[in-house]
Amino acid sequence: MDTLKCFSLVCIILLFTSCDEYYKEDYSFDGIYLREWDSSICPKKIVFEKYAKNSNLKNLIQKDSNFNIEGCNRSKSKFNQRIFTPSTLYSGQINYDIKLIIDDSLQYEITNIKSKLDTTSFTFTLGRKYYIDNRIYSMMVNGHKLDNKDAKNNIWIPTKIGKIIKK
């Protein structure tokens, strides 16, 4: 009888731990976070331009202004950031350069983007869920090398390194 109980317990444990699920999320990024936004002004417009990689931002591929702007109601919070999320997600690994223009007055040139497919897992009682997605590890923004590895599927940029193009 003890052998049957032990065998049943082992089978149940194997059943619950062998239920692994895999999800491939093939989008480039969730959002662009402008950190340390030390202003009460909420941006009204963002222009996202994709350029051919290493073209010195000369060969325009695509231009998009369809972004949701968030974080304006939390300007006094500890995060103090503005979040730009694309209305339509970009798919695939980022193999292009980016120019962001905020309200026709602040510009970010993002080049030398290092990203790769990465796997993260979450453990549940019925096995693990694995997420395979694109992670952005580092980039150059207006000549500043930024480490982005803690941002997971987002692009984090300190607001202060933006180039003022119009006052």
| Chain segment 78-101, per-residue pLDDT in tens | 668 888 989 888 877 888 999 999
Is 101 within 8 Å of 44 (Cβ atoms)? Answer: no
| Chain segment 116-157, per-residue pLDDT in tens | 766 665 555 556 666 666 778 889 999 999 988 777 778 999
- pTM above 0.75? yes
Amino acid at 124: F
Torsional class of 93: left (φ above 0), alpha (ψ -120 to 50), beta (otherwise) = beta
- Domain locations in the chain as residue ranges: 20-164
Q: Among 41, 59, 56, which Cα is nearest to 105's?
A: 41
